[in-house]
Structure 1
């Protein structure tokens, strides 16, 4: 394979992976927040306390917004954009959970199932961002939205920054509410290579009065 072809293919993969996954996660996050308005208010209060409304949220502010990060993690736990991680291959004969896995076997990791496993998580189907307030190092293997270890996504830090900036700015700069007549946002998923909402999110918003000058 020519070097130019190799580089072109890798750039295409990075562009696709770096655009689809963030917007899907943002849609799931906003849907969860609209169904849990108290949680959205807590994020707004956190932004008000640590940043205020005299300027827009910046990347170097993200370290102050722990609850916002919890919400992103909980959204990724409940609705990972890649419910099945990229295929792996067993490098040697091994036994896992009583099953014999010969060398060369193609392995698929079900991140969605692991992240909703009641053995690993309390009330696994419930939206509880505060569960990430105290997550131990050994628990990081329960969260597989970006993979883990040597084969983990190289863009994990960039992904968290993009999600934090985008979601935080949307909450800081706009007031959000469900469409008239809708009590709950439909959280039905469409399962494919990536996991999107079956019904795209439709929502009402208006600029916050104290942020209009910064938005325009």
Structure 2
């Protein structure tokens, strides 16, 4: 069930991350340069390489921040009367956390609407649920049980794509984030190999 449940969010994360990189070619080049330096061009990226790909990990964090796969986290019900942020919450109230809003809060994130993976290079903020300004997987006891599997999947697939192919948006691609939420929007990408032919067989 965990694999099936995480399939949509993992693929959505990959698509959103690729789109953000395609809109920011300098970040795409930086990620590819890091891959070339850490892995070289004589082999395919292996899972053991991921720990060396600090910029790639920052790209994924920034993608989770700007475009969380689940903008509204699953609802929770208050079991008893409580106070949250100065508000009285009666027992039985359904509460929904707006991760999208939290992760774009200008009081926490300078240039909150901009794609800037570099913000995570000097920060210990992570997506594991310990830092409440970045909670794409939720936090606490209710954090997504598939977080480790999802992150490993996103890292290795993204690393292999960026390492293996140069890419650019198809000239006719039109993508408006404000109109895309909840809809299927095609992302047309032009790929060209960047490794020796023998590695693609």
* TM-score normalised over the length of structure 1: 0.85
| 1:7 corresponds to | none
Equivalent residue runs for 1:12-23 within 5 Å: 14-23=2-11
Deviations 1:59-98 (A, max 9, x none): 1110000100000011111111111101112233211222
Which structure: larger Rg?
A: 1
User: How many angstroms does 1:104 deviate by?
Assistant: 2.4
| 1:191 corresponds to | 181
Q: Which runs of 5+ in 2 are unaligned?
A: none
**Would the alpha carbon gap of residues 191 and 181 (structure 1) be closer, same or farther in structure 2, given more than 3 Å must change?**
closer
Q: Over aligned residue pairs, what C-alpha RMSD do you find? A: 1.9
User: How many angstroms does 1:119 deviate by?
Assistant: 1.4
Q: How far apart in 1 are the matches of 2:190 and 2:135?
A: 32
The aligned length equals: 198
| 1:24 corresponds to | 12
Deviations 1:21-64 (A, max 9, x none): 11111111111111100101001110111111111111111000
| 2:169 corresponds to | 178
Q: What is the aligned counterpart of 2:56 among 57, 62, 68?
A: 68
Asked if 1:56 corresponds to 2:47, the answer is no
Equivalent residue runs for 1:87-126 within 5 Å: 87-126=75-114
- Secondary structure at the residue paired with 2:190? strand
User: How many angstroms does 1:112 deviate by?
Assistant: 0.5
Q: How far apart in 2 are the matches of 1:174 and 1:105?
A: 49
- Secondary structure at the residue paired with 1:120? coil
Equivalent residue runs for 1:203-214 within 5 Å: 203-208=189-194, 210-214=195-199
User: How many angstroms does 1:191 deviate by?
Assistant: 3.3
Q: Say if 1:31 and 1:185, in contact at 8 Å, map to a contact too.
A: no
Q: Say if 1:93 and 1:101, in contact at 8 Å, map to a contact too.
A: yes
Q: Say if 2:125 and 2:134, in contact at 8 Å, map to a contact too.
A: no
Q: Say if 2:76 and 2:94, in contact at 8 Å, map to a contact too.
A: yes
Q: What is the aligned counterpart of 1:144 among 135, 140, 150?
A: 135
Q: How far apart in 1 are the matches of 2:176 and 2:46?
A: 31
Q: Say if 1:178 and 1:185, in contact at 8 Å, map to a contact too.
A: no
Q: Say if 1:22 and 1:162, in contact at 8 Å, map to a contact too.
A: yes
Q: Say if 2:66 and 2:103, in contact at 8 Å, map to a contact too.
A: yes
